[in-house]
Amino acid sequence: MSQSPNKLEKIKKITSSHSNLFKRIFKELNLIIKGKREIMYSDIINLIIREGYKGEIYNEIILWCNYNIRQGKYIVVIEQIKL
């Protein structure tokens, strides 16, 4: 299933418009992981699902994480996210 170019561009640029939410998610994940390993995109998806977060903004973040996983990126590089 192919995505429209506009939707794909929106997924790629999600980080600049969701910075406060990403900061909160990273803070929660750091408390859970406690520095034992790096944060992975699957960790973000699992946290959103486990905590029952709902809404368009969370759906967009899940799509963004899935996009990165499909691109072969598994570890979140925080410096690349425009927080």
Looking at residue 15, its pLDDT comes to 64
Summarised one tens digit per residue, pLDDT across range 27-78 is: 999 999 998 999 999 999 999 999 999 999 999 899 999 999 999 999 998 7
Is the pLDDT confidence value at 3 over 60? no
Q: What string of DSSP letters covers the chain? A: -PPPHHHHHHHHTHHHH-HHHHHHHHHHHHHHHTTSS--BHHHHHHHHHHHT--SHHHHHHHHHHHHHHHTT--B--GGGS--
Looking at residue 20, its pLDDT comes to 84
